[in-house]
Chains A and B, each alone.
Chain A
Amino acid sequence: MTVATWLLRRLVASVAIIVAVITFVFILVHLAPGKPCLGQDEIVDPAVCARVSTQLGLDRPIAEQYRRYLVALAHGDFGYSYSLRRPVRDALIETIPFTLQLAGAALLLDFLLGLSLGIYQARRANRLPDIILGNLTLFVYSLPTFWLALLLLLLFGEKLAWFPVGGPSDPIFCPVVDSFYCIADRLWHLSLPATTLGLVGAAGTARFQRAAMLAVASQDYIRTARAKGVPERRVVLRHQLRNALLSSITRFGLALPFLLTGAVLIETIFAWPGMGRLAFEAILTRDYLLVTATALIASTLVVTGSLVADLLVGVADPRLRVRAAREPDIVTA
């Protein structure tokens, strides 16, 4: 099977996954009790509520709503969010950049810190630095993230005042990012939330990477390279790292869904206007269209991410290309 065929099959499968996700979410949200009614803290006259429901077509049978939704989607119309009182597309377009910024920064920190720690630990396996770092990463990995968030906010936001207490940007000087100063301001606001997410992720990555490096280290080709007289640095970087990297790449594919819509707590605490918060509030107010649209975007990003990850793995590891020729599915991770 050539790369092209494999890619085609994966694309078809990806579209099928996305459609399945939308359907699943759609049904689930409609099954939940509690009709959508105007706001969060307002207690509304049932007559007004009923009128709004009819207006939005929410009293039709579910199959018909689903059909209409798919048709609208095909035209690029995501529908109208009654809880935000805006078209769903506008709401999504605004949140996606924030989500990508947070997820990107967290992944970057996760990747860089986690990999370097894992490699460092593997190089000094079972000696004191490894033991200390190992226990430290285990501890950080086991902390509830919102706990860590509140702690970091207290220390760096309030007591030391090195970082801002929540918010995506300075509301006065930089409501929109239109200068280099504002880019830096955005990064400054991004630091604490990304650090919280990234630290816990990095701890996990470090542990995983250490194990992977050690597993590879005992392979024959590593010993051969050393015996050949290849400089140690090269052994580590070119041979050990490259082979151990593969599983890490696929791990990031698995981490993506969490960073997109699972980081609700972090976004709520740090007032970061991302998709997690949007999805959470949409579920609370039973804003069906918004929930389904968020699920759609999130699953598209995840599926794309894992596709890219698999491509990278396929490029990096020739064995998998050979195996792919024989089997219809690449075994990842």
Chain B
Amino acid sequence: MLRRFLLHCFVGFVVIAVAGCERRGGCTGAWCGTLINAAVAEPGTLLPPSSEDIVANDIDEQLFLKLADVGPSENTIGDEDFQPLLAQKWEWDGPLTLVFHIDPRARWQDGPRVTAADVEFTFNAYTDSAVGSPFRPKLLRIASVTQRDSLTTVFRFKERYPEMFYDAVYHMRILPAHLLRPVPRDQWRTAPFGRQPVGSGPYRFVQWLPAQSIELVADSTFFLGRPGIRRLIWRFTPNLQVAVQQVIADQADVREQLVTPDNVARARAAQQLAVYTYRGNTYTYLTFNQRSPDDTTKPHPLFADRDLRRALSMAVDRATLLKSELGDLAKVPPGPMSELLWIWDPDIRQLPYDSAQAGRRLNALGWRDHDGDGIRDKDGQPLAFHILVPTSSVLRRQYARLLQAQFSAVGVRVEIDELEPAVVGQRVSTGKYDTAILSRSNDPSPSSGIAQNWTRAAGASNFGRYYSPEFERIVDLAVTATSRDRARSLWRSAIETLNADAPAIFLYALDNAAAVHKRVENVQLRPDSWATLLRTWRIPPDRLIDRDRVER
């Protein structure tokens, strides 16, 4: 009987092996090519104002167009360095009025032309509180958007500041009014359009197989030039290791972030892959909650004390932690920023690592080990707190353990709470935590990130409830500074003020390392969003492989 079973097995395997042979398509020439992205997290919706997650952003980048895009110099001040997209040209009609002329060649993928009515509709939707878009706070300084005629749209601002143009074009992806007007605003989150989007961009949506893949196909009539690669597929694999394995085993073409040094080494060793490094746009930090978790109107028993925060910050050897975990794949941030920001400057004054000094300062504050158990205490209370970290991030969990050891070396007891991301999000936004390790991503401009997350005006997004009038005063000046140099020195001064207050310990800013199949040419990766220039990538006709040749 065993023999018969083995025979069946053998036959089965032969059948599978034969069928498993590669199937060839017939596409040849320059208008072929498939790029498979080994993605990890599946997006919730593809409707731009309703989603903030990274994969949705990358896909929307291909489907929808902004009015204009940041240029290679990444300058966000003024309007000279921007490149036309949906808007063919623009001019200033007065200090507070900006006029865009929409390219008459732009069309929605279901036929009609893109008009100024779409731009007006988009602005109203993004700023509507019923939609609840996370981009809404970034558009607060725009008073209104109206249409002068079908191809001319007028932006009116509330005040003058250097990045007016940037705010007008960067945050909004223009939406089709004729398809979205009938959808009630408070149902945009769950609208079917989010699962079958129609845009005006270089790629068209084909299908979304839930939990499996999303497929886009290039629009050969795209008015700014036919995209190089015909088909884009995002394939979802929940485990990062396995996703990296897919790329190494040549079953996927792109992995835009390899994250750990081990993965980078394995990718470099794979013959068909090229590894590209580019500046990252996220930074990770340990934030101190300055309000009490039990009652958010009262100050936190430990972290409302600035000196205690400063002492704790000095007890952490950020450079060594980074070297251990990430090697040379990340840098220690000099403040709440990633390397993407032009204000990045390693010489910005920060609290040094000095555990002896930290110990002395803790002693001076009255925290000594009175009962000999290795943990400092004061008035009978031990110096102990919790670190909240989501289970979804391997790096942050390991950092939590490293921090636990660092703090225990100065006599502070730390307990790690590893919880599901949804629960972490909720506890952080309602203030029910001691400290948490969080990640933030940056726009190319410091004003939309730093101002919004570390000032009182940010409300619930300012997770640690940090408030410094001095910091806010300098930030206001920096945001309105008219020259880059003046802005740079003002921002530097603001960050130094923030660092001195130690509202958080800024742990690492990842440098991204992407693995891309060698056959792909002209791989341009813009740091603020790697997928922005996907339409310029090409696969030369003599390097097509089987999956490029499929005809559909």
Contact = CB atoms under 8 A, between A and B. Distances in A.
Chain A partners chain B: yes
Interface of A: 33-46, 48-49, 51-52, 55, 80, 82-86, 91, 94-95, 112-113, 116-117, 119-120, 150, 153-154, 157-158, 161, 164-169, 171-173, 175-176, 180-181, 183-185, 187-188, 191, 237, 268-271, 273, 277-278, 284-286
Interface in B511-552: 547, 550
Contacts of B5: 112-113, 116
B242 A270 contact: yes
Given A85-B44, A112-B5, A165 B246 contact: yes
A84 B210 contact: yes
Given A85-B45, A185-B20, A277-B211, A119 B1 contact: yes
A273 B212 contact: yes
Given A153-B242, A165-B249, A268-B239, A94 B210 contact: yes
B550 A172 contact: yes
A171 B213 contact: yes
B173 interface: no
Given A41-B392, A113-B5, A51 B132 contact: yes
Contacts of B213: 171, 175
B11 interface: no
8 contacts: A35-B426, A49-B426, A55-B186, A84-B210, A167-B251, A184-B19, A268-B238, A286-B422
B379 to A, nearest CB: 31
A172 B430 CA distance: 44
A34 B423 CA distance: 5
A106 B332 CA distance: 48
Given A165-B246, A171-B36, 15 more contacts: A39-B53, A40-B422, A42-B52, A45-B429, A52-B189, A94-B210, A117-B2, A165-B249, A167-B237, A172-B233, A180-B19, A184-B16, A185-B20, A269-B242, A277-B211
B41 interface: yes
B263 interface: no
B101 to A, nearest CB: 36
A184 B14 CA distance: 11
7 A-B pairs with least C-beta separation:
A184-B19, A273-B211, A271-B237, A34-B423, A43-B425, A171-B213, A48-B132
B238 A271 contact: yes
Nearest to B209: A175
B448 interface: no
B413 interface: no
Contacts of B237: 166-167, 271
Interface string B215-250: 100000000000000010101111101100110111
Nearest to B207: A175
Interface string B420-434: 111101101110000
Interface residues of B, number: 65
Contacts of A167: 212, 235, 237, 246, 251
Nearest to A158: B249
A158 B273 CA distance: 14
Contact of B425 (A42, A51, A158, A181): A42
B210 A91 contact: yes
A277 B189 contact: no
Contacts of A45: 132, 429, 459-461
B190 interface: yes
Nearest to B18: A184
Contacts of B390: 41
Contacts of B134: 42
Contacts of A180: 19
A83 B425 CA distance: 15
Contacts of B19: 180-181, 183-185, 187-188
Contacts of A185: 19-20
Contact of A171 (B41, B212, B250, B459): B212
A95 B420 contact: no
Interface core residue of B209, B212, B235, B241 (most chain A CB under 10 Å): B212
A82 B45 CA distance: 11
Contacts of B248: 158
A82 to B, nearest CB: 7
Contacts of A173: 23, 25, 547, 550
B15 interface: yes
A34 to B, nearest CB: 4
A126 B45 CA distance: 61
A43 B16 contact: no
With most chain B CB atoms within 10 A of its CB, the pick from A39, A94, A188, A268 is A39
Interface string B124-146: 00000000101000000000000
B460 A41 contact: no
A157 to B, nearest CB: 6
Contact of A284 (B16, B422, B438): B422
Contacts of B23: 173, 181
B299 interface: no
A291 B422 CA distance: 15
Between B36, B53, B210, B550, the greatest number of chain A beta carbons within 10 A of the residue's beta carbon is seen for B210
Contact of A184 (B15, B132, B420): B15
A172 B34 contact: yes
Nearest to A187: B16
Nearest to B550: A172
B246 A166 contact: yes
A284 B390 CA distance: 11
Nearest to B23: A173
Nearest to B15: A184
A91 B211 CA distance: 10
Given A277-B238, A284-B420, A43 B429 contact: yes
Most chain A CB within a 10 A radius of its CB, from B2, B134, B390, B428: B2
B194 interface: yes
Nearest to A270: B242
Contact of A38 (B2, B189, B242, B251): B189
Between A95, A168, A191, A284, the greatest number of chain B beta carbons within 10 A of the residue's beta carbon is seen for A284
Interface string B446-471: 00000000000001110100000000
Given A37-B426, A83-B44, A284-B421, A269 B20 contact: no
Contacts of A44: 425, 429
A209 to B, nearest CB: 12
A95 B132 CA distance: 31
Contacts of A237: 1
Contacts of B207: 175
Contacts of B231: 172
A149 B420 CA distance: 24
Contacts of A36: 422
A34 B426 contact: yes
B23 to A, nearest CB: 5
Contacts of B194: 85
Contact of A271 (B41, B242, B426, B438): B242
A166 B242 contact: yes
A258 to B, nearest CB: 20
A171 to B, nearest CB: 4
Given A166-B237, A171-B233, A33 B423 contact: yes
A168 B1 CA distance: 32
B195 interface: yes
B427 to A, nearest CB: 8
A190 to B, nearest CB: 9
